[in-house]
């Protein structure tokens, strides 16, 4: 398997000669060393092993692929995390360089949250990254808004499709309609980090087995000020909170934090590519609210409802919790959470004081209305 398109530039060849003269190269299946005494290059790839005299170094297409690959990862990608991310984008750990190059000719697609990154390659091994919303995968690029500055990603990710603020950048509510057609390795990293801050660095720590997880109890211990209140949130409520907030339908990070390292939560952590290493500020703020609410004791109420009304209330909870209210058609009164159905229920079952079925929230206390 070869990639006849691969060609080495003079700069790359010079860099290769200089590097190998300074010391052996061992990179992605390419092993090269220079014997100064005999003025000989010894170059080995999985399929070939060749000795060249110093002035007769000839590079065929397959060797060019190996050398341009080495050059790209040595000189065009500057940090370890950027390098690891680019390798993940092109599945470099799963394939040989020629296999990878073949696939890069037509483009390798990877998904990072709601982002689709397509990596392609030039003859000299330079990678090009195209970034768009995964839901725009099959959309004609000319119909999408083109961006070249990777930092534009922050602004694209600020509001959702309906112009509502996205305080949680990793919520699955990224809007469509944009494209970064040709980013460099450094730029694709910046763009992805601007869409999903710190996800690549934390993924990289996890890849190296070094992800530091802050569990809920760590978070409780660290808080001060108004967030001290989360220390009184019952343990079972932390499970409800994780199930409510950290589900894949709400956040694309894969929750790795638990109650503590020895006390796993029952809630599913999700299947995201990138990990969540600790309760985010949204979860902490919500936890504070629930801590306040959980201080109340339960109370037995008696309500008069028909079976369909009880089911309607449950369906309304589902519709709100699953974000489906806006999908219910205006005239579809068969839907329990349809606005007219709910308004009808309110007319029938909620009294002027706002009490369901006329049942006071605080029986025995003076009704403040």
Partner 1 sequence: MQSLVIVAHGSHLNPESSTPTHTHAETIRETGVFDEVRTGFWKEEPSLRDVLRTARGDDIYVVPLFISEGYFTERVIPRELRLEGWDPELWDSDGISADTATLVASDIDNAVHYCGPVGTHEAMTDVLIRRAVSVTGDEEVGEGFGFAVVGHGTERNEKSAKAIEYHTERIRETGRFDEVKALFMDEEPEVDDITDQFDSEDIIVVPLFIADGFHTQEDIPEDMGLTDDYREGYDVPAAVDGHRIWYGGAVGTEELTADVILERAADAGAEIGNAIARVRQQTNPTTGAAGE
Candidate residues 79, 146, 148, 360; the one interacting with partner 1 per rule CB under 8 A: 79
168 or 356: CB nearest partner 1: 168
CA atoms within 13 A on the CB side of 286: 17
Footprint of partner 1 on 221-250 (CB under 8 A): 222, 224-225
Alpha-carbon gap, residue 66 to 74, rounded angstroms:
12
Footprint of partner 1 on 177-196 (CB under 8 A): 193
> Which range of residues in 122-130, 162-170, 175-183, 309-317 is near partner 1 by CB under 8 A?
162-170
Footprint of partner 1 on 249-288 (CB under 8 A): 277-278, 280-282, 285
The size of the interface with partner 1 (CB under 8 A), counted in residues, is 26
109 or 152: CB nearest partner 1: 152
- DSSP line for 276-309: E-S--HHHHHHHHHHHHHTTSPP--------HHH
Q: Which two tokens stand for residue 346?
A: 């309110």
> Which range of residues in 200-208, 294-302, 309-317, 355-363 is near partner 1 by CB under 8 A?
200-208
Residue pair 339/345 in contact (Cβ under 8 Å)? The answer is no
Candidate residues 1, 159, 317, 353; the one interacting with partner 1 per rule CB under 8 A: 159
User: Where does residue 104 rank: exposed (0-12), middle (13-18), buried (19+ CB within 10 A)?
Assistant: buried
94 or 212: CB nearest partner 1: 212
Is residue 205 part of the contact set for partner 1 (CB under 8 A)?
yes
Across the chain, how many H-helices and E-strands are there?
12, 11
Is residue 302 part of the contact set for partner 1 (CB under 8 A)?
no
- The length of the chain is 369
Contacts of 107 (CB under 8 A, 6+ apart): 118, 119, 120, 130
Contacts of 242 (CB under 8 A, 6+ apart): 255, 265, 267, 283
169 or 341: CB nearest partner 1: 169
227 or 240: CB nearest partner 1: 227
Tell me, residue by residue from 16 to 55, as one string, x for binding to partner 1 by CB under 8 A and - for no binding.
Answer: ----------------------------------------
**Count of Cβ atoms closer than 10 Å to residue 61 Cβ:** 16
225 or 307: CB nearest partner 1: 225
Distances (CA, A) of 159 to 113, 171, 183, 322, 347: 17, 11, 23, 19, 36
Q: Which two tokens stand for residue 66?
A: 């190996």
Task: Name the minimum Å distance from CB 75 to partner 1.
Answer: 17
Is residue 172 part of the contact set for partner 1 (CB under 8 A)?
no
110 or 154: CB nearest partner 1: 154
DSSP SS3 for 145: strand
Candidate residues 214, 239, 256, 309; the one interacting with partner 1 per rule CB under 8 A: 214
Task: Name the minimum Å distance from CB 212 to partner 1.
Answer: 8
Alpha-carbon gap, residue 316 to 261, rounded angstroms:
37
Is residue 201 part of the contact set for partner 1 (CB under 8 A)?
yes
Is residue 202 part of the contact set for partner 1 (CB under 8 A)?
yes
Task: Name the minimum Å distance from CB 269 to partner 1.
Answer: 18
Is residue 173 part of the contact set for partner 1 (CB under 8 A)?
no
276-287 core/surface letters (b: 16 or more CB in 10 A; e: else): bbbbbeebbebb
Chain-centroid distance, C-alpha 166 = 15
Task: Give the interface with partner 1 as residue ranges (CB under 8 A).
Answer: 79, 151, 154, 158-159, 165, 167-170, 193, 197-198, 201-202, 205, 214, 222, 224-225, 277-278, 280-282, 285
């Amino acid at each position: 398997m070869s990639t006849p398109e691969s060609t080495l530039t003079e700069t790359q060849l010079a860099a290769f000669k200089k590097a190998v003269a300074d010391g052996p190269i061992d990179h992605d299946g390419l092993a090269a060393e220079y014997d100064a005494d005999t003025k000989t290059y010894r170059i080995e790839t999985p399929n070939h092993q060749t000795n060249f005299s110093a002035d007769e170094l000839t590079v065929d297409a397959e060797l060019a692929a190996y050398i341009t690959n080495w050059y790209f990862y040595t000189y065009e990608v500057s940090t370890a995390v950027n390098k690891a991310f680019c390798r993940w984008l092109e599945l470099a750990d799963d394939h040989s360089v020629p296999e990878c190059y073949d696939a890069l000719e037509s483009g390798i697609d990877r998904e990072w949250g709601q982002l689709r990154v397509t990596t392609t390659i030039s003859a000299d091994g330079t990678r090009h990254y195209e970034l768009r919303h995964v839901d725009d995968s099959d959309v004609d690029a000319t119909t999408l808004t083109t961006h070249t500055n990777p930092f534009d990603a922050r602004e694209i990710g600020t509001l959702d499709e309906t112009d509502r603020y996205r305080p949680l950048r990793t919520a699955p509510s990224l809007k469509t309609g944009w494209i970064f057609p040709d980013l460099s390795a450094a730029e694709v990293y910046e763009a992805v980090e601007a869409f999903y801050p710190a996800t690549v660095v934390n993924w990289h720590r996890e890849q190296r087995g070094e992800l530091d997880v802050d569990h809920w109890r760590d978070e409780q211990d660290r808080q001060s000020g108004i967030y001290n209140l989360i220390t009184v949130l019952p343990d079972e409520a932390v499970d409800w909170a994780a199930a409510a907030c950290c589900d894949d339908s709400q956040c694309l990070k894969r929750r790795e934090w638990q109650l503590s390292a020895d006390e796993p939560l029952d809630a599913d952590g999700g299947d995201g590519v990138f990990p969540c290493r600790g309760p985010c500020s949204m979860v902490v703020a919500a936890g504070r609210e629930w801590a306040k609410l959980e201080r109340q004791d339960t109370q037995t109420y008696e309500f008069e409802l028909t079976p369909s009304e009880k089911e309607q209330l449950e369906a309304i909870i589902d519709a709100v919790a699953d974000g489906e209210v806006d999908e219910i058609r205006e005239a579809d009164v068969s839907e329990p959470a349809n606005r007219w159905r709910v308004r009808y229920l309110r007319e029938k079952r909620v009294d002027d004081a706002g009490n369901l079925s006329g049942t006071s929230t605080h029986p025995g206390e003076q009704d403040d209305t």
